[in-house]
Homo-oligomer: A and B are copies of this chain.
């Protein structure tokens, strides 16, 4: 079964906005075996949406139209869908009552424009929107399913999870997508492929996808034989076992956890506490670690010692060390990790110092040169990184590699 997602709104054709709703919808569709074959982003013109929706109806079994359900004259989704399906728009009493209640609750008077949101193409089923005024709509045409959903992500997400999936299940026997997902840190995409392609190439029944992004590589193994589901378990099991053997500790999870969650879990499990001392990452390392709810169990805090004075005054890094080797040096990275561990009274200290760019590089210390340091009761160590990318990417990679290094030491 194939689905098409149409995102509607001129702002989505500007340089400032992306359609992200489709990722959420795709994730949930994939889980019940529905693949998205095409996504289209189109503006608020009647003829433009008409052409796109007509084509989608011919090609896909399930069509999503996202956005354009509000009360303004730019909101044309209902009219276009009614016109293409050749159905009349009718005032729907259930939708009208929902609207009246909603406007009363937020204390805003209803204008005649607002009534537009209660208009439904003949035969359409209203999908209540608990988080907004515009209801969703569900229609069937020649065996095809059409969903009209509001654009605000928190409205859409609730309706997908609570209503859309059930409505699809009424008309379609789900064939869940069977796959394994391995996440790999601190390895490049081509090196991962070099190591694992000799393995996955011998599994005809499995399709492999490799995606890389700023120091994280995602490996997906999809089962391609829906008629032979019973064999999927053992085959995928064997394949992932062999791939994990080839990649060793670079694989940090077989599932949907983040690197920060996995590393935090190890800290909690081993009863260790962590403190950070950051220079070039400027707080990014702490931000990533505290993206995890509950990280206060193991993360005591950190010092963003952006200036040399802060490095010496707050952390107690020897001024002469900075003068002799420079702030971007293995000596200072090591001292930062050692000192923050002592100052914070933590089990482990983690540090970063580098040239994130675009300014600040010299002949000896080029852009993307970063030292990371780690200190624990066994001693301290540093690593030199030479990272590609712009300021944001260099900082993100530095922080991720530092976190992954900590993870490997905890194993």
Contacts and interface: CB of A to CB of B under 8 A. Distances in A.
A305 interface: yes
A301 interface: yes
B283 A287 contact: yes
A357 B209 CA distance: 34
A19 B359 CA distance: 29
Contact of A55 (B16, B55, B287): B55
Interface in A308-356: 309-310, 313-314, 343-345, 356
Interface string A21-56: 001101100100001111111110000100110010
Interface in A267-296: 276, 278, 281-291, 293-296
Scoring A16, A291, A306, A345 by chain B CB atoms within 10 A of each residue's CB, the highest score goes to A306
Nearest to A35: B13
Copies in the complex: 2
Nearest to A15: B27
A300 B293 contact: no
A20 B18 contact: yes
Contact of A37 (B14, B43, B291): B43
Contacts of A300: 306-307, 309-310
A303 interface: yes
Nearest to A36: B13
Most buried by B among A30, A294, A301, A307: A301
A34 B282 CA distance: 39
Interface string A243-286: 00000000000000000000000000000000010100111111
A344 B304 contact: no
A255 to B, nearest CB: 14
B294 A301 contact: no
A301 B301 contact: no
Contacts of A285: 283
B287 A301 contact: no
A388 to B, nearest CB: 9
A26 B288 CA distance: 31
Given A13-B26, A284-B290, 4 more contacts: A40-B40, A40-B41, A51-B59, A283-B287
Interface of A: 10-20, 23-24, 26-27, 30, 35-43, 48, 51-52, 55, 59, 209, 211, 218, 276, 278, 281-291, 293-296, 299-307, 309-310, 313-314, 343-345, 356-360, 391-392, 395
13 contacts: A13-B35, A15-B30, A18-B20, A37-B42, A40-B40, A51-B59, A283-B290, A283-B302, A286-B287, A293-B357, A296-B306, A301-B307, A314-B314
